[in-house]
Chain A
Amino acid sequence: MNEDEMRELERKSRAAFDASVEAADAATRSRLARARATALTELRHRGLRRAAPWLPAGAAAAAIFAAVLWQREEAVAPVAPGAVAFEDLDIVTGGEDFDLLGEDADFVAWAAEQAPDGVG
Protein backbone atom coordinates (compact mmCIF):
# COMPACT_ATOMS: atom_id res chain seq x y z
CA MET A 1 0.00 0.00 0.00
CA ASN A 2 1.52 3.27 -1.02
CA GLU A 3 1.27 6.53 0.85
CA ASP A 4 -1.28 8.10 -1.53
CA GLU A 5 -3.65 5.15 -1.36
CA MET A 6 -3.46 5.19 2.40
CA ARG A 7 -4.20 8.93 2.57
CA GLU A 8 -7.13 8.50 0.19
CA LEU A 9 -8.63 5.68 2.23
CA GLU A 10 -8.16 7.71 5.41
CA ARG A 11 -9.88 10.72 3.88
CA LYS A 12 -12.82 8.74 2.49
CA SER A 13 -13.43 6.71 5.63
CA ARG A 14 -13.27 9.81 7.85
CA ALA A 15 -15.72 11.65 5.58
CA ALA A 16 -18.10 8.67 5.67
CA PHE A 17 -17.85 8.54 9.46
CA ASP A 18 -18.44 12.30 9.83
CA ALA A 19 -21.51 12.06 7.59
CA SER A 20 -22.95 9.23 9.67
CA VAL A 21 -22.39 11.25 12.88
CA GLU A 22 -24.25 14.21 11.36
CA ALA A 23 -27.07 11.90 10.33
CA ALA A 24 -27.77 10.79 13.91
CA ASP A 25 -31.53 10.70 14.48
CA ALA A 26 -33.37 12.99 16.88
CA ALA A 27 -34.12 10.23 19.37
CA THR A 28 -30.42 9.36 19.70
CA ARG A 29 -29.48 13.02 20.08
CA SER A 30 -32.10 13.45 22.75
CA ARG A 31 -30.94 10.38 24.69
CA LEU A 32 -27.34 11.56 24.54
CA ALA A 33 -28.33 15.02 25.76
CA ARG A 34 -30.15 13.40 28.70
CA ALA A 35 -27.09 11.27 29.45
CA ARG A 36 -24.97 14.43 29.48
CA ALA A 37 -27.37 16.17 31.85
CA THR A 38 -27.27 13.15 34.16
CA ALA A 39 -23.48 13.19 34.14
CA LEU A 40 -23.35 16.89 34.94
CA THR A 41 -25.53 16.47 38.05
CA GLU A 42 -22.53 14.56 39.44
CA LEU A 43 -20.58 17.80 39.37
CA ARG A 44 -23.29 19.63 41.32
CA HIS A 45 -23.40 16.91 43.95
CA ARG A 46 -19.64 17.01 44.20
CA GLY A 47 -19.72 20.79 44.61
CA LEU A 48 -22.23 20.44 47.42
CA ARG A 49 -20.12 17.82 49.14
CA ARG A 50 -17.10 20.09 48.87
CA ALA A 51 -18.95 23.18 50.15
CA ALA A 52 -20.33 21.30 53.14
CA PRO A 53 -18.15 18.24 53.79
CA TRP A 54 -19.84 17.69 57.15
CA LEU A 55 -23.22 17.31 55.45
CA PRO A 56 -23.21 13.49 55.05
CA ALA A 57 -21.99 12.98 58.63
CA GLY A 58 -24.53 15.51 59.93
CA ALA A 59 -27.35 13.85 58.01
CA ALA A 60 -26.31 10.44 59.35
CA ALA A 61 -26.16 11.77 62.92
CA ALA A 62 -29.58 13.40 62.56
CA ALA A 63 -31.03 10.15 61.22
CA ILE A 64 -29.58 8.15 64.15
CA PHE A 65 -30.88 10.73 66.65
CA ALA A 66 -34.35 10.61 65.10
CA ALA A 67 -34.31 6.81 65.18
CA VAL A 68 -33.30 6.76 68.88
CA LEU A 69 -36.07 9.25 69.75
CA TRP A 70 -38.61 7.19 67.90
CA GLN A 71 -37.53 4.00 69.71
CA ARG A 72 -37.82 5.76 73.09
CA GLU A 73 -41.31 7.01 72.27
CA GLU A 74 -42.30 3.45 71.44
CA ALA A 75 -40.88 2.09 74.73
CA VAL A 76 -42.19 4.79 77.11
CA ALA A 77 -45.71 5.20 75.81
CA PRO A 78 -47.15 1.78 75.14
CA VAL A 79 -50.66 2.80 76.29
CA ALA A 80 -52.89 5.14 74.40
CA PRO A 81 -53.07 8.69 75.90
CA GLY A 82 -56.86 8.53 76.22
CA ALA A 83 -56.73 5.48 78.48
CA VAL A 84 -54.29 7.18 80.90
CA ALA A 85 -56.62 10.15 81.22
CA PHE A 86 -59.50 7.90 82.18
CA GLU A 87 -57.38 6.18 84.87
CA ASP A 88 -56.46 9.55 86.37
CA LEU A 89 -60.11 10.52 86.43
CA ASP A 90 -60.91 7.34 88.33
CA ILE A 91 -58.36 8.09 91.05
CA VAL A 92 -59.48 11.69 91.48
CA THR A 93 -63.16 10.88 91.73
CA GLY A 94 -62.89 7.66 93.83
CA GLY A 95 -64.16 8.16 97.46
CA GLU A 96 -61.63 5.72 98.95
CA ASP A 97 -58.80 8.11 98.07
CA PHE A 98 -60.05 10.59 100.67
CA ASP A 99 -60.41 7.80 103.25
CA LEU A 100 -56.83 6.75 102.57
CA LEU A 101 -55.68 10.31 103.11
CA GLY A 102 -57.54 10.36 106.46
CA GLU A 103 -55.89 7.11 107.59
CA ASP A 104 -52.51 8.56 106.78
CA ALA A 105 -53.24 11.67 108.87
CA ASP A 106 -54.24 9.55 111.88
CA PHE A 107 -51.11 7.46 111.50
CA VAL A 108 -48.86 10.53 111.38
CA ALA A 109 -50.49 11.94 114.53
CA TRP A 110 -50.08 8.61 116.33
CA ALA A 111 -46.43 8.30 115.25
CA ALA A 112 -45.71 11.80 116.59
CA GLU A 113 -47.13 10.87 119.96
CA GLN A 114 -45.06 7.67 120.14
CA ALA A 115 -41.75 9.40 119.49
CA PRO A 116 -39.59 9.80 122.67
CA ASP A 117 -38.65 13.30 123.71
CA GLY A 118 -35.46 14.63 122.26
CA VAL A 119 -35.44 12.18 119.47
CA GLY A 120 -35.76 13.25 115.84
Chain B
Amino acid sequence: MEDEPVIRSATLDAPLSLGRPGTAREKTLDRERALDRFLAGIERRAHRIACVALRDRAEAEDAVQDAMIRLVRHYAERPEDQWRPLFYRILRNRITDLQRRAGIRRAVMAFWSGGSKDEPARDPIEDVADTRGRPDEVMEGEELLARIEAVLATLSRRQREAFLFRNFEGLDVAQAAVAMGCSEGSVKTHYFRAMQVLQGALGEWQA
Protein backbone atom coordinates (compact mmCIF):
# COMPACT_ATOMS: atom_id res chain seq x y z
CA MET B 1 0.00 0.00 0.00
CA GLU B 2 1.30 3.43 -0.89
CA ASP B 3 2.24 5.68 2.03
CA GLU B 4 0.50 8.99 2.44
CA PRO B 5 2.71 12.09 2.02
CA VAL B 6 3.61 13.67 5.35
CA ILE B 7 5.20 16.85 6.65
CA ARG B 8 7.75 16.55 9.48
CA SER B 9 6.90 19.42 11.73
CA ALA B 10 9.41 21.17 13.96
CA THR B 11 6.73 21.93 16.55
CA LEU B 12 4.53 18.82 16.42
CA ASP B 13 5.56 15.39 17.67
CA ALA B 14 3.38 13.56 15.13
CA PRO B 15 3.86 14.15 11.39
CA LEU B 16 1.12 16.14 9.65
CA SER B 17 -0.79 14.07 7.09
CA LEU B 18 -1.76 15.77 3.82
CA GLY B 19 -4.14 13.00 2.68
CA ARG B 20 -4.03 11.43 -0.76
CA PRO B 21 -3.12 14.07 -3.30
CA GLY B 22 -6.00 15.03 -5.60
CA THR B 23 -8.52 12.57 -4.09
CA ALA B 24 -11.07 15.18 -2.96
CA ARG B 25 -10.48 17.19 -6.13
CA GLU B 26 -10.98 14.15 -8.34
CA LYS B 27 -14.16 13.30 -6.47
CA THR B 28 -15.46 16.82 -7.05
CA LEU B 29 -14.52 16.63 -10.73
CA ASP B 30 -16.30 13.27 -11.12
CA ARG B 31 -19.42 14.71 -9.51
CA GLU B 32 -19.20 17.79 -11.68
CA ARG B 33 -18.93 15.68 -14.83
CA ALA B 34 -21.88 13.53 -13.74
CA LEU B 35 -23.99 16.60 -13.00
CA ASP B 36 -23.00 18.17 -16.30
CA ARG B 37 -24.12 15.03 -18.16
CA PHE B 38 -27.36 14.88 -16.20
CA LEU B 39 -28.23 18.55 -16.70
CA ALA B 40 -27.25 18.50 -20.38
CA GLY B 41 -29.58 15.54 -20.90
CA ILE B 42 -32.50 17.11 -19.13
CA GLU B 43 -32.28 20.86 -19.77
CA ARG B 44 -34.16 21.11 -23.06
CA ARG B 45 -37.02 18.89 -21.92
CA ALA B 46 -37.21 20.77 -18.63
CA HIS B 47 -37.26 24.07 -20.47
CA ARG B 48 -40.05 22.89 -22.77
CA ILE B 49 -42.09 21.66 -19.79
CA ALA B 50 -41.56 24.98 -18.03
CA CYS B 51 -42.66 26.76 -21.22
CA VAL B 52 -45.89 24.75 -21.31
CA ALA B 53 -46.57 25.44 -17.64
CA LEU B 54 -45.62 29.13 -17.64
CA ARG B 55 -46.37 30.04 -21.26
CA ASP B 56 -43.40 32.40 -21.15
CA ARG B 57 -40.00 31.41 -22.60
CA ALA B 58 -37.89 33.86 -20.60
CA GLU B 59 -39.51 32.90 -17.30
CA ALA B 60 -39.11 29.24 -18.26
CA GLU B 61 -35.37 29.76 -18.75
CA ASP B 62 -35.08 31.48 -15.38
CA ALA B 63 -37.00 28.67 -13.71
CA VAL B 64 -34.75 26.01 -15.25
CA GLN B 65 -31.58 27.86 -14.28
CA ASP B 66 -32.82 28.28 -10.71
CA ALA B 67 -33.66 24.58 -10.55
CA MET B 68 -30.18 23.68 -11.83
CA ILE B 69 -28.47 25.89 -9.25
CA ARG B 70 -30.58 24.59 -6.40
CA LEU B 71 -30.02 20.98 -7.38
CA VAL B 72 -26.25 21.50 -7.53
CA ARG B 73 -26.23 23.49 -4.30
CA HIS B 74 -28.39 21.18 -2.18
CA TYR B 75 -28.52 17.74 -3.76
CA ALA B 76 -25.24 17.18 -5.63
CA GLU B 77 -24.18 14.58 -3.05
CA ARG B 78 -27.37 12.55 -3.45
CA PRO B 79 -27.25 9.34 -5.55
CA GLU B 80 -27.57 10.08 -9.24
CA ASP B 81 -30.84 8.18 -9.65
CA GLN B 82 -32.49 10.67 -7.27
CA TRP B 83 -31.50 13.74 -9.26
CA ARG B 84 -34.26 13.56 -11.87
CA PRO B 85 -37.29 13.58 -9.53
CA LEU B 86 -35.56 16.05 -7.22
CA PHE B 87 -34.78 18.36 -10.11
CA TYR B 88 -38.41 18.32 -11.22
CA ARG B 89 -39.57 18.86 -7.65
CA ILE B 90 -37.46 22.01 -7.50
CA LEU B 91 -38.59 23.12 -10.96
CA ARG B 92 -42.22 22.55 -10.04
CA ASN B 93 -41.86 24.69 -6.90
CA ARG B 94 -40.23 27.44 -8.93
CA ILE B 95 -42.98 27.29 -11.55
CA THR B 96 -45.64 27.44 -8.84
CA ASP B 97 -43.96 30.55 -7.35
CA LEU B 98 -43.87 32.25 -10.72
CA GLN B 99 -47.50 31.35 -11.45
CA ARG B 100 -48.59 32.80 -8.10
CA ARG B 101 -46.74 36.02 -8.81
CA ALA B 102 -48.25 36.21 -12.28
CA GLY B 103 -51.70 35.66 -10.75
CA ILE B 104 -51.15 38.52 -8.31
CA ARG B 105 -49.90 40.74 -11.17
CA ARG B 106 -53.00 39.93 -13.23
CA ALA B 107 -55.31 40.62 -10.28
CA VAL B 108 -53.64 44.00 -9.63
CA MET B 109 -53.78 44.91 -13.32
CA ALA B 110 -57.45 43.91 -13.48
CA PHE B 111 -58.17 46.01 -10.39
CA TRP B 112 -56.48 49.14 -11.74
CA SER B 113 -57.87 48.79 -15.23
CA GLY B 114 -61.38 48.31 -13.84
CA GLY B 115 -61.73 44.89 -15.43
CA SER B 116 -62.64 41.65 -13.74
CA LYS B 117 -60.55 38.53 -13.45
CA ASP B 118 -63.80 36.57 -13.48
CA GLU B 119 -64.45 37.27 -17.14
CA PRO B 120 -65.93 34.29 -19.00
CA ALA B 121 -63.13 31.99 -20.10
CA ARG B 122 -62.54 31.55 -23.82
CA ASP B 123 -62.33 28.08 -25.26
CA PRO B 124 -58.55 27.57 -25.53
CA ILE B 125 -58.94 25.18 -28.45
CA GLU B 126 -60.53 27.99 -30.46
CA ASP B 127 -57.45 30.14 -29.97
CA VAL B 128 -55.17 27.64 -31.66
CA ALA B 129 -54.62 28.23 -35.37
CA ASP B 130 -56.30 25.61 -37.51
CA THR B 131 -53.70 24.04 -39.79
CA ARG B 132 -55.66 20.93 -40.68
CA GLY B 133 -55.27 19.78 -44.22
CA ARG B 134 -51.54 20.42 -44.37
CA PRO B 135 -49.68 17.32 -45.52
CA ASP B 136 -46.63 18.05 -43.40
CA GLU B 137 -46.34 15.54 -40.52
CA VAL B 138 -44.20 17.90 -38.50
CA MET B 139 -46.89 20.53 -38.69
CA GLU B 140 -49.37 17.91 -37.50
CA GLY B 141 -47.22 17.24 -34.44
CA GLU B 142 -46.82 20.93 -33.72
CA GLU B 143 -50.53 21.46 -34.14
CA LEU B 144 -51.34 18.60 -31.78
CA LEU B 145 -48.89 19.96 -29.23
CA ALA B 146 -50.35 23.46 -29.48
CA ARG B 147 -53.81 22.03 -28.86
CA ILE B 148 -52.58 19.92 -25.95
CA GLU B 149 -50.92 22.98 -24.42
CA ALA B 150 -54.13 24.93 -24.77
CA VAL B 151 -56.10 22.19 -23.01
CA LEU B 152 -53.45 21.81 -20.31
CA ALA B 153 -53.88 25.50 -19.51
CA THR B 154 -57.49 24.77 -18.53
CA LEU B 155 -56.65 21.87 -16.19
CA SER B 156 -56.03 22.13 -12.47
CA ARG B 157 -52.37 22.60 -11.52
CA ARG B 158 -52.12 19.06 -10.18
CA GLN B 159 -53.65 17.50 -13.28
CA ARG B 160 -51.34 19.52 -15.53
CA GLU B 161 -48.29 18.53 -13.49
CA ALA B 162 -49.27 14.88 -13.55
CA PHE B 163 -49.57 14.98 -17.32
CA LEU B 164 -46.32 16.93 -17.87
CA PHE B 165 -44.26 14.68 -15.62
CA ARG B 166 -45.83 11.34 -16.55
CA ASN B 167 -46.40 11.80 -20.25
CA PHE B 168 -43.97 14.47 -21.50
CA GLU B 169 -41.06 13.77 -19.18
CA GLY B 170 -41.76 10.06 -18.77
CA LEU B 171 -41.33 9.91 -14.99
CA ASP B 172 -42.76 6.76 -13.46
CA VAL B 173 -45.49 7.06 -10.84
CA ALA B 174 -43.06 7.01 -7.90
CA GLN B 175 -40.81 9.65 -9.45
CA ALA B 176 -43.78 11.83 -10.36
CA ALA B 177 -44.99 11.55 -6.75
CA VAL B 178 -41.61 12.88 -5.54
CA ALA B 179 -41.68 15.67 -8.12
CA MET B 180 -45.24 16.67 -7.23
CA GLY B 181 -44.85 16.15 -3.50
CA CYS B 182 -47.91 13.90 -3.21
CA SER B 183 -48.83 10.22 -2.99
CA GLU B 184 -48.55 7.80 -5.90
CA GLY B 185 -52.32 7.25 -5.78
CA SER B 186 -52.84 10.98 -6.17
CA VAL B 187 -50.53 11.03 -9.21
CA LYS B 188 -52.54 8.23 -10.84
CA THR B 189 -55.85 9.97 -10.19
CA HIS B 190 -54.69 13.37 -11.50
CA TYR B 191 -53.08 11.81 -14.54
CA PHE B 192 -56.18 9.81 -15.44
CA ARG B 193 -58.40 12.89 -15.13
CA ALA B 194 -56.01 14.93 -17.26
CA MET B 195 -56.10 12.23 -19.93
CA GLN B 196 -59.89 12.15 -19.82
CA VAL B 197 -60.12 15.90 -20.41
CA LEU B 198 -57.54 15.77 -23.21
CA GLN B 199 -59.28 12.87 -24.88
CA GLY B 200 -62.59 14.71 -24.67
CA ALA B 201 -61.13 17.93 -26.09
CA LEU B 202 -58.95 16.38 -28.76
CA GLY B 203 -60.93 13.28 -29.66
CA GLU B 204 -62.97 14.96 -32.35
CA TRP B 205 -59.94 16.71 -33.83
CA GLN B 206 -57.89 13.51 -33.81
CA ALA B 207 -60.55 11.48 -35.64
Interface of A toward B, CB cutoff 8 Å: 1, 5-6, 9-10, 12-17, 19-21, 24, 28-29, 31-33, 35-36, 38-40, 42-44, 46-47, 50-51
A17 touches B43 (CB 8 A): no
Once bound together, how far apart are the Cα atoms of A33 and B37, in whole Å?
Answer: 11
Q: Does B153 contact A (CB under 8 A)?
A: no
Q: A54–B104 Cα gap in the complex (Å)?
A: 44
Q: Are B199 and A1 in contact (CB under 8 A)?
A: yes
Q: Is the interface of B mostly helix, strand, loop or mixed?
A: helix
* Residue count of chain B within 8 Å CB distance of chain A: 41
Q: List residues 135-159 of chain B with CB under 8 A from any CB of chain A.
A: 138, 141-142, 144-145, 148
Q: Is the CB of B76 within 8 A of A36?
A: no
For chains A and B in complex, what number of residue pairs have CB atoms within 8 angstroms?
Answer: 107
Q: Is A14 a contact partner of B170 (Cβ separation < 8 A)? A: yes
Question: What are the residues of chain B within 8 A of A21 when measuring CB–CB?
Answer: 44-45, 48
Stretch among B25-33, B118-126, B176-184 lining the A interface: B25-33
Pair B40/A16 contact, Cβ less than 8 Å: no
B64 contacts chain A at the CB level, 8 A cutoff: yes
Minimum CB–CB distance from A6 to chain B (whole Å) comes to: 6
List, in ascending order, chain A residues with CB within 8 A of B174's CB. Answer: none
The CA-CA distance from A9 to B163 in the complex, in Å, is: 12
Asked if A44 and B65 sit within 8 Å, CB to CB, the answer is no
Closest chain B CB from A40 CB (angstroms): 6
Interface string of B65-89 (1 = CB under 8 A from A): 1001101110010000000000000
Residues of chain A lying within 8 A (CB to CB) of residue B44: 21, 24, 28-29, 32
Assembled-state Cα–Cα distance A30/B73 (Å): 22
Given A12-B144, A14-B168, A46-B76, verify A36-B68 contact (CB < 8 Å).
yes
Which single member of A24, A35, A42 contacts B48 (CB below 8 Å)?
Answer: A24
B17 within 8 A of A: no
> Residue B61 at the A interface, CB < 8 A?
yes
Q: Select B199's contact among A6, A17, A20, A28, beta carbons within 8 Å.
A: A6
Other than the given A24-B47, A32-B47, 5 more pairs (CB < 8 A) read: A6-B199, A35-B68, A39-B72, A40-B72, A43-B72
